[in-house]
Homo-oligomer: A and B are copies of this chain.
Amino acid sequence: MFTDFKLMDDRPVSIQVKDYMKRLITKGGLQSNQRLPSTRELSSLLNVSRNTVVMAYSDLEEEGLIYVLKGKGNYVAQAAGSVADAGQRWQVDWKQQMNDHARIAEEQDLMKRGIRSSQGMISFTSIAPDEKLFDIDNFRRAFLDRMSLEGEVLLNYGYAKGYKPLIDYLMHDMENKGVDMAGKDILITNGFTEGLDILLSVLTKNSGRILCENPTHHTAIKNFKLHGFSITGIDMEAGGISLQKLEQALSRERYDLAYLVPSYQNPTGIVMSPEKRRAVIELMSRHQVPILEDGFNEELRYSGAHVAPLIASGGGNSIVYVGSYSKILFPGLRVGWVLADKELIDYLVSVKRARSIHTSTLDQSVLYQYLHNGYFEKYLKRAKSEYKRKYELAVQCCQADIPFRDLSGDGGLHLFLAFENGFDTRQLLNICRERGVIFTPGTIFYTDGGGGNTMRLGFSRVADADIVKGIGIIGQAVKEQM
């Protein structure tokens, strides 16, 4: 005994000794009422200072794990809580206890079913920001600024609705984008996904149907299914959703909601044209279908005219906007927000409180300070110029190397390629993977099982040389497969 004690470098030694002894006691290596080595003995056995052992023993005593007999030494306390073996043999078959919600979540979990990257592979599967662009120094500064202003406040409970300075900042920012804020309010969420999830859980199912672009964001499709909605996907075309097909769908059926991604749509990368924006709002208004607008990467404009979000373009109180800083700035900070009619937000706040009390105040407040200090603008300038270069390189390589039928992507962090019908990008992936390149076959983005001939190429985290090399390898494989 006492021979397997291993010291870690950077954790207080007396705590390590306490943990070690605690383990021996709770695991039964030391028995109730057994006498412990003296502090001198243990200090020599574990090769730590005697004072360290004294502190560890004192902590163990305070935790009720050992007791002291004056003049005799330290003893292991009666294992008061130990009722080991009570019901030990009963095993729950948890899989049998899982409902449809759990099953669908598991089945649709891309991280479990998706393409795995391994060391040295060129991976076009990610559309996350490139961590090399993160300005850690300014982030650290923002943290220190905020902590020195109100550290205690940040660490205690906040409000379900969100951190007030951040809400005010976002309100102001959305107003600057042209949104009429009268009668509207903001709820801060754990990223876009929580906003979507909460909204879907409060809506009455009148028709039980949701409209969306086809293809669209896989997480949205997953969450529509999880909430029991049936999904009608409307084909994408140049400039955005097909108005003709949208109108057909609207005239055939009623819908509870339309989910739209007007900027750098995932996966097509298409930015909806101003004309389509106007037409979509008019159509939805006529057919009384509220819109859920996904503000996905709308800050990532490289060029061209300013395009306002749908919610800045009329629609009364019928548009619910979900924004996020997780997708372009720091995904590790889980901060998104829902901007919508005040009355709706009021319900969403109660659901948010029931789900997770509130979003991390630390995340919210450091993000606020980062935005307030103007660091975001600086970051965005650098990020845009970097991504723009990669975007142009990727487009150029695709055009040179890959015999595609269509290429879309007006900027953003990814391109979308379509081949002739019958071409199978999953088969293509199998070949490419063997040659060290992976991408995302398009089917997962389709609401109707289609898209077998499509693929998404995320270039944000791929080095320039690898963009050239990787697209070259894909192009070669396409030609062989054709």
Which A residues form the contact surface with B (CB < 8 A)? 10-12, 15, 19, 22-23, 26-27, 59, 62-65, 77-92, 94-99, 101-102, 105-106, 108-109, 111-112, 128-129, 131-132, 134, 136, 139-140, 143-144, 147, 151-158, 160, 172, 175-178, 189-191, 193-194, 197, 201-205, 219, 222-223, 226, 256, 274, 277-278, 281-282, 284-286, 288, 290, 301, 303-309, 312-318, 326, 330-334, 340-341, 343-344, 346-347, 349-351, 353-363, 366, 372-374, 377, 381
Judging by beta carbons under 8 Å apart, are B331 and A274 in contact?
Answer: no
Shortest beta-carbon distance, A223 to chain B, in Å?
A: 6
Judging by beta carbons under 8 Å apart, are B178 and A86 in contact?
Answer: no
Tell me the bound Cα distance from A306 to B178 in angstroms: 61
Given A223-B354, A314-B87, also A332-B155 (CB < 8 A): yes
Given A11-B374, A90-B315, also A202-B109 (CB < 8 A): no
Q: Could you show 15 A-B contacts with beta carbons less than 8 Å apart?
A: A11-B373, A19-B176, A64-B307, A81-B277, A82-B308, A82-B313, A83-B281, A87-B316, A97-B344, A105-B202, A128-B156, A136-B152, A191-B357, A332-B362, A360-B360
Return chain B residues, CB-CB under 8 Å to A139.
147, 151, 155
Q: Which residue on B lies nearest to A349, using beta carbons?
A: B109
Shortest beta-carbon distance, A285 to chain B, in Å?
A: 3
Shortest beta-carbon distance, A131 to chain B, in Å?
A: 4
Judging by beta carbons under 8 Å apart, are A314 and B86 in contact?
Answer: yes
Q: Which residue on B lies nearest to A303, using beta carbons?
A: B64
Query: Assembly of this chain: how many copies?
Result: 2
Return chain B residues, CB-CB under 8 Å to A204.
96-99
Given A128-B157, A356-B190, also A94-B344 (CB < 8 A): yes
Q: Which 7 A-B pairs have the closest CB atoms?
A: A87-B285, A81-B308, A83-B278, A26-B178, A64-B306, A102-B202, A12-B374
Judging by beta carbons under 8 Å apart, are A23 and B153 in contact?
Answer: no
Residue among A22, A284, A334, A361 facing the most chain B CB atoms (10 A cut-off):
A334
Judging by beta carbons under 8 Å apart, are B175 and A23 in contact?
Answer: yes
Tell me the bound Cα distance from A106 to B351 in angstroms: 7
Return chain B residues, CB-CB under 8 Å to A334.
356-360
Instruction: Give the residue of B64, B83, B306, B381 whose beta carbon is less than 8 angstroms from that of A314.
Output: B83
Return chain B residues, CB-CB under 8 Å to A372.
10-11
Judging by beta carbons under 8 Å apart, are A356 and B282 in contact?
Answer: no
Tell me the bound Cα distance from A288 to B97 in angstroms: 12
